[in-house]
Amino acid sequence: MANGFDPVGRNSVAAKWAWFVALGVLLIMAGGVAFGNLLVATVASVYFVGLIMLICGLLSLGHAFRVQDWGGFLFWMLSGAFYAAAGLFAFFNPLLASSVLTLLMAIALIVAGAFRIWVGFRLSPLGGWGWIAIAGLITLVAGLVIAAGWPTDSLWIVGLLLAVDLVMQGLALIAFGVLVRG
């Protein structure tokens, strides 16, 4: 059993290597389309996030009625209502929603980067600590760059991240497909 796969499972995956490569190519093409129009990719991403939030909000509202006797009814009701409202907001004003998402992303990157730098320096007695600090510095700088361009860059940042993710996933699937074929 190599890498957690039994020989039958590995052979089954290896036999389908071309599907991984084909999916990888399609994802890279989709990433290219997203790179071609970052505004449309941003709006599509916001609609997707809005849809997920709306569905989860509605499910939470339904859950509130299932736990009425538990004492958490008001919490689940308000939580579901706010989540569903945020999802609807994303549909009715995707550009403003992308602005909010971009600002939250910038803040999250700044905080995560600062934390990683701190953790890196805390690990300084150990070898390799500098890589953690450098990764944190890159994350911090990315957050600062996004924050510096806010709100104008909100029109394309989310779409850019989607495009990069599609291309990276495509490359990973192609590499996996080619290597698993071996």
- Residue 123 confidence (pLDDT): 86
- Residue 170 confidence (pLDDT): 93
- Binned at pLDDT 50, 70 and 90, residue 54 comes out as very high
> Is 110 domain-assigned?
yes
Whether 82 has a pLDDT exceeding 60, the answer reads yes
> Which DSSP letter does residue 5 get?
B
> Is 2 domain-assigned?
no
Measured from the Cβ of residue 74, the count of other Cβ atoms closer than 10 Å reads 10
Tokens, residue 92? 């009715």
Enumerate the β-bridge partners of residue 2: 5
Tokens, residue 36? 């071609």
> Is 122 domain-assigned?
yes
Percent of the chain at pLDDT exceeding 70: 94
Report which of residues 161 and 9 the model is more confident about: 161
Q: Alpha carbon of 54 to those of 15, 60, 64: distances in Å?
A: 40, 10, 15
Whether 2 has a pLDDT exceeding 60, the answer reads no
Mean pLDDT of 46-54: 94
Radius of gyration from C-alpha coordinates of the chain: 21
The whole-chain average pLDDT of the chain stands at: 89
Domain extent at residue 133: 14-175
> Is 132 domain-assigned?
yes
> Is 66 domain-assigned?
yes
Whether 138 has a pLDDT exceeding 70, the answer reads yes
> Is 5 domain-assigned?
no
- Residue 5 confidence (pLDDT): 54
- The runs of H, that is alpha helices, within 93-153 are 94-122, 129-148
pLDDT digits (tens, 9 = 90+) for 70-80: 667 888 889 99
- Residue 83 confidence (pLDDT): 92
> Is 8 domain-assigned?
no
Enumerate the β-bridge partners of residue 5: 2
> Is 180 domain-assigned?
no
The domain tally of the chain equals: 1
Whether 125 has a pLDDT exceeding 90, the answer reads no
